[in-house]
Structure 1
Amino acid sequence: MSINSFVGQINMEMGSLEERSNHELEDESLISPAKIGQKTNSFHAPQLGSSCRDWRIWSSKLLGNAVFMSIRVVVFSSKLNLLMPFGPLAVLVHGLSDHNGWVFFLTLLGITPLAERLGYATEQLSFYTGDTVGGLLNATFGNATELIISIYALKSGMIRVVQQSLLGSILSNMLLVLGCAFFCGGIVFNNKQQVFNKAIAVLNSGLLLMAVMGLLFPAVLHFTHTEVHFGRSELALSRFSSCIMLLAYAGYLVFQLKSQKDLYMSIAEGGTLPEEGSDDDEGPEISKWESVIWLSILTAWIAILSEYLVDAIEGASIAWKMPVSFISVILLPIVGNAAEHASAIMFAMKDKLDISLGVAIGSSTQISMFAIPFCVVIGWIMGCPMDLNFQLFETATLFITVLVVAFLLQEGTSNYFKGLMLILCYLIVAASFFVHVDPTLVEHKT
C-alpha cells in the first residue's frame, strides 16, 4: 500500500468518526429535556487534534448555551413575567421613601409572576420524581407563597394576618378560581353539560368540613367562655387539632397516591399546574437540576419580597384607608393564587374539569389541612401563640362557603350559571370584609 493511499484511508476514517460524533450529539439533544440540542449545531466540536484549550472553550460555549436556553424557557416564556421588574423596584422604593402603600402595591405585582413560575418549576421537577414525591412537592411548593408570607408574619407577631391570609386563600380558590373555571368552561361548551368525578369532589368536601370542624371548636370554646384554663385550653386544643389534621392530610396523600392511584391520576397530574398549551403527554422542558436551581432561586426571591410585603401591610392599610382584614383576605390570596386561577380556567375551557377541580379544591384542601395546622406547629416551635381561633366572623364565612360549594358539587356537573353563582358569592364575601373591623384590633386600641 502506498503512503498516499494510507494517508487517504486515515483521513476517511477520521471524517467518519467526526460525522458519527456529530450524529451522537444530535441524538442526545433529541432526548434532552432542556432541548438544548436545538442550538448546538452552531457549536462544532473541535477536531481530534485540537488542544485542551479548544475543548474548554467549546464546553464553556455549550454550558453558556444551556444556561441561556434555561433562562429563556423559565423567564421569557410567560407574558406574566413582564411584572418581575416590579420586585426590585419595590425594594428601591422602600429604600428611598417611607410610602408603604407603593411598596405594598409594587411587591404584590412583583410576587405574582414568581408564584406562577414556582408552580411551573414544581411541575417540571415532578416529571422526574414520580407521583408520590410529586404530590409531596405539590403540597410543599404549590402554596409556598402563602406559607412564606405566613412565616414572616409569624416572626413579626402578626397572627391575624397569617390567619386571614390563609383563610382568604381557601375562599379565593373555592369561590373565585372554581367559579371562573365553571363560568368560562360553561361559556365555551354551552351546548353540552360538563361533568367531573363526583366521588373525588365529595371526598374533598369532606376534608374541608373536617378543617372547618378544627377551626370551629376553638372559636366556640373562646366565645362561650367554657375553657378550663382561660387562654391556655384554647391554644392547647388548637395544637392538638393541628397535629390530627396533619395526620389526616398525610393519610389523604397515601390514599390518593397509593391506595387509589388510578382514581386520582388526573387530579395528581393536574395539581402541578401545567402551562398554557400543554398536553397530557408533554415532557419536561428543563432538566431535573435546573428545576431544583430555579425552585431555590424563586423561593429565595419570594422570601425576600415577602418580608417587605408583611412590613408594609399596616402602612398600606392606613394609606389606602382599607381594613387590614380586607387586604389579608382578598388582596394577598389573589397574588398567591394567580397560577391556580390561570390553570383552572385553561383546563375548564379544554373540558378537563377533573383537573380544574383538582387545582381549585385540591389547593383549598392543602391550605386547610396542611398549611394552617403547619403554621400552628411552626408558631409552637417559634414560641408564637398561633391558634385555630379565626374569630367568629371568619369561621362562619368559611363554614357557609364550604356548604355552598359542597351543594354545587354534589351532582357532578357544571355549567356557567354555577360559576356565576360562585363568583357573585365571592363578591359578597369581599364586600363583607371591606366593612368588617377586626375585633382584636379594637381590643388592642382600647
Structure 2
Amino acid sequence: MVGGHPHIEMGSLHDRSELEFEDESLVSPVAINRKARILDAVPGGPFAGVSQPWTVKRTRGGLFSSIRTVIFGTKINLLLPFGPAAILVHYFIGHTGVVFLLSLIGIVPLAERLGYATEQLAFFTGSTVGGLLNATFGNATEMIISLYALKNGMIRVVQQSLLGSILSNMLLVLGCAFLFGGIMHSKKDQVFNKAAAAVNSGLLLMAVMGLLFPAVLHFTHTEVHFGDSELALSRFSSCIMLLVYGCYLIFQLKSHSNLYAPVNEGGSPTEGDAEEDEAPEISQWEAIMWLAALTIWVSFLSGYLVDTIEGASKSWNMPIAFISVILLPIVGNAAEHASAVMFATKDKLDISLGVAIGSSTQISMFVIPFCVVVGWIMGQPMDLNFQLFETATLFMTVLVVAFLLQEGTSNYFKGLMLILCYVIVAASFFVHVDPKAGAD
C-alpha cells in the first residue's frame, strides 16, 4: 500500500497536468478571441481588450504584409490607377469630362478601402462603436467633397450631393441588402432590431423637418427679412440638430446601448454567433494609418472631381443635379454598399441597417448641419433650403423606408421595392432642372 501510493500520486499528478494542458487548449488564443468578440457586442465589455494581444501577433507582418493585404487584397483595386490617370489628363490634355470620369472611377476603390480599414478597426472597438466608425468613415468621401465644394462656393453641389447620399443609402444600399439577403435566405424572413430602426426613423423625420421649414418659408414668401430669415433659421436649426446628434451618440453608446443589440429570429436580443466571427487581417495601428492615408488621397482626388463637375455636365449634356444627386453618392457610398450587402448575406441584418440607415442619419443630423456651420464660418450662405423638389423627394423616401422598417422583418421583395423607388428618383433628377441654375 505504501509502495503503491507514490505511484498513485505520480499518476494523479500526471493526469492533473494533462487536464491542465487540456484546459489551456480550451482557452487558447483563438477561443479567447471568439469569447472576447461576443462580449464586445456590449461597448466597454469586460473582455474588450482580450483579443488584441493575439491579433497583434497574428498581424505583425511588417509594412509589406500590410500593403499586400490592403492594396492587393481585392480585385476592385484594379481601378486605383484611374486616380493618377485623372491628374495626368488634367495637366496634359485638360478635357474636363474625361478628368471627371477618371476621378469618379478612381475614388471608388478608395471608398471601398476606407470601409475595409474601418471594419478592421472595428475589431478592436466593439460592434456598436465599430458601426459608428463604419458610418463615419464611410461618409468621409461625401464630407470631403462637400467641404471642398463649399470652399469654392458651390452650395447647390453640396446640398444635392449630401441629399443624394441619403437617398442612395436609404433606397439603393438598403434595398440591395434586403434583396440579396432575402435571396440568400429565401426560406425565412430576416429580422432586425425594430426599436433601433424606429429611433433612426424618428431622427430622419426630424431632419426632414429641419429641411422643410426653410424651404416652405422661402417659397411662401413669409419671411420677416427676405433671405436673411431663411439663413438665420437654417443656422439655428443646424445648431439644434448637432445638439440632438450629440445626445443621440450618448443614447446609443452609453445610456441605451442594449437597445442596439442584434436580435434573433424570435425578436429577442442576442450576442451573436462566435463561430461566424472573423479575425482581423491588419493591426489596430495599421488600420488607423491606412485610414489617414486613404482620407488624404480621397481629399486630393476630390478636388479634381469637384472642379470638373460643370465641365462634365456640358460635355455629357447631363444635368448637374443628376450628377450631384445620383453619380457622386453612388461612388461615395461604395463602402457602405459592399458592407451592407456582405453582412445581409451573412444574416447579420442589424449591422446592414446600422451601416445604411446609420449613415443616412449621420449625414442628415451631423454632416448637413456641420456644413451649414462651416459655411457660416467661411462666410458662405449655406442653408437648409434644399428647394421644394429635393425636400419633397427626401420626405417621401423617409416615409417609405419608415413604413417598411416598422415590422422588424425584411425579404427580397422589400429590397426590390426600395431599388425600384431609387430608379424612379434617378429618372426624376435626370429630367429635373435646378431652379437656381435655370434663373442663371
For normalisation by structure 1, the TM-score amounts to 0.81
The Cα of 1:136 is off from its aligned counterpart by: 5.9
The Cα of 1:240 is off from its aligned counterpart by: 0.7
1:423 partner letter: I
Residue 189 of structure 2 is matched in structure 1 by: 193
Alpha-carbon RMSD across the aligned residues, in angstroms, is 2.1
Is the 8 Å Cα contact of residues 34 and 284 (structure 1) preserved in structure 2?
no
Residue 401 of structure 1 is matched in structure 2 by: 397
Q: Aligned partners of 1:408, 1:208: CA distance in 2, in Å?
A: 14
Q: Deviations over 1:276-325 (max 9, x none)?
A: xx976334322232222211211110011000000010000001110000
Q: Aligned partners of 2:239, 2:275: CA distance in 1, in Å?
A: 38
The Cα of 1:443 is off from its aligned counterpart by: 1.4
Residue 54 of structure 2 is matched in structure 1 by: 31
Q: Aligned partners of 1:279, 1:94: CA distance in 2, in Å?
A: 50
Residue 328 of structure 1 is matched in structure 2 by: 324
Q: Deviations over 1:185-223 (max 9, x none)?
A: 222222212221111111111110000000000000100
Matched, 1:385 2:373: no
- Aligned residue for 2:259, secondary structure, equals coil
Matched, 1:203 2:199: yes
Q: CA 1:129 to 1:339, structure 2 compared with 1: closer, same or farther past 3 Å? A: same
Q: Deviations over 1:49-100 (max 9, x none)?
A: xxxxxxxxxxxxxxxx611001011111111111111100010011111211
Q: Aligned partners of 1:327, 1:320: CA distance in 2, in Å?
A: 10
The Cα of 1:138 is off from its aligned counterpart by: 4.2
Matched, 1:101 2:97: yes
User: 5 Å matches for 1:7-46?
Assistant: 31-33=54-56, 35-36=58-59
Is the 8 Å Cα contact of residues 145 and 306 (structure 2) preserved in structure 1?
yes
Is the 8 Å Cα contact of residues 59 and 281 (structure 2) preserved in structure 1?
no
Is the 8 Å Cα contact of residues 33 and 285 (structure 1) preserved in structure 2?
no
Q: Aligned partners of 2:306, 2:353: CA distance in 1, in Å?
A: 31
Choose the corresponding residue for 1:313, options 294, 309, 317: 309
Q: Deviations over 1:89-114 (max 9, x none)?
A: 01001111121111111101110111
2:193 partner letter: N
Residue 213 of structure 1 is matched in structure 2 by: 209
Q: Aligned partners of 2:291, 2:410: CA distance in 1, in Å?
A: 35
Residue 233 of structure 1 is matched in structure 2 by: 229
Matched, 1:71 2:67: yes
2:84 partner letter: P
Q: Aligned partners of 1:130, 1:183: CA distance in 2, in Å?
A: 27
Identity %: 76
Q: Deviations over 1:10-65 (max 9, x none)?
A: xxxxxxxxxxxxxxxxxxx983537356xxxxxxxxxxxxxxxxxxxxxxxxxxx6
Choose the corresponding residue for 1:358, options 341, 351, 354: 354
Range 319-328 or range 344-353, more displaced: 344-353
Would you identify which runs of 4 or more consecutive aligned residues in structure 1 move more than 6 Å?
Answer: none
Q: CA 1:34 to 1:112, structure 2 compared with 1: closer, same or farther past 3 Å? A: farther
Q: Aligned partners of 2:57, 2:305: CA distance in 1, in Å?
A: 34
Is the 8 Å Cα contact of residues 195 and 259 (structure 2) preserved in structure 1?
no
Range 91-100 or range 258-267, more displaced: 258-267
Q: CA 1:283 to 1:263, structure 2 compared with 1: closer, same or farther past 3 Å? A: farther
Residue 117 of structure 1 is matched in structure 2 by: 113
Residue 428 of structure 2 is matched in structure 1 by: 432
Unaligned 5+ runs, structure 1: 1-28, 38-64, 268-277
Q: Aligned partners of 1:258, 1:88: CA distance in 2, in Å?
A: 43
Q: Aligned partners of 1:408, 1:158: CA distance in 2, in Å?
A: 35
User: 5 Å matches for 1:203-282?
Assistant: 203-266=199-262, 281-282=277-278
Q: Aligned partners of 1:162, 1:348: CA distance in 2, in Å?
A: 31
The Cα of 1:423 is off from its aligned counterpart by: 0.8
Q: Aligned partners of 1:283, 1:236: CA distance in 2, in Å?
A: 50
Is the 8 Å Cα contact of residues 169 and 329 (structure 1) preserved in structure 2?
yes
Q: CA 1:136 to 1:344, structure 2 compared with 1: closer, same or farther past 3 Å? A: closer
1:337 partner letter: N
Choose the corresponding residue for 1:145, options 131, 141, 144: 141
Is the 8 Å Cα contact of residues 194 and 415 (structure 1) preserved in structure 2?
yes
Residue 53 of structure 1 is matched in structure 2 by: none
2:287 partner letter: S
Q: Aligned partners of 2:262, 2:73: CA distance in 1, in Å?
A: 25
Is the 8 Å Cα contact of residues 146 and 333 (structure 1) preserved in structure 2?
yes
Is the 8 Å Cα contact of residues 203 and 361 (structure 2) preserved in structure 1?
yes
Q: CA 1:242 to 1:150, structure 2 compared with 1: closer, same or farther past 3 Å? A: same
Aligned length: 380
The Cα of 1:123 is off from its aligned counterpart by: 2.6
Residue 267 of structure 2 is matched in structure 1 by: none
Q: Aligned partners of 2:86, 2:417: CA distance in 1, in Å?
A: 37
Q: Aligned partners of 1:95, 1:355: CA distance in 2, in Å?
A: 43
Residue 180 of structure 1 is matched in structure 2 by: 176
Residue 285 of structure 1 is matched in structure 2 by: 281
Q: Aligned partners of 2:347, 2:365: CA distance in 1, in Å?
A: 28
Range 355-364 or range 393-402, more displaced: 355-364
- Aligned residue for 1:263, secondary structure, equals helix
Structure ID, larger Rg: 1
Q: Aligned partners of 2:285, 2:221: CA distance in 1, in Å?
A: 54
Q: CA 1:306 to 1:224, structure 2 compared with 1: closer, same or farther past 3 Å? A: same
1:327 partner letter: I
Choose the corresponding residue for 1:168, options 158, 164, 168: 164
1:33 partner letter: V
Q: Aligned partners of 1:73, 1:329: CA distance in 2, in Å?
A: 33
Is the 8 Å Cα contact of residues 193 and 261 (structure 2) preserved in structure 1?
no
Q: Aligned partners of 2:115, 2:182: CA distance in 1, in Å?
A: 26
Q: CA 1:89 to 1:178, structure 2 compared with 1: closer, same or farther past 3 Å? A: same
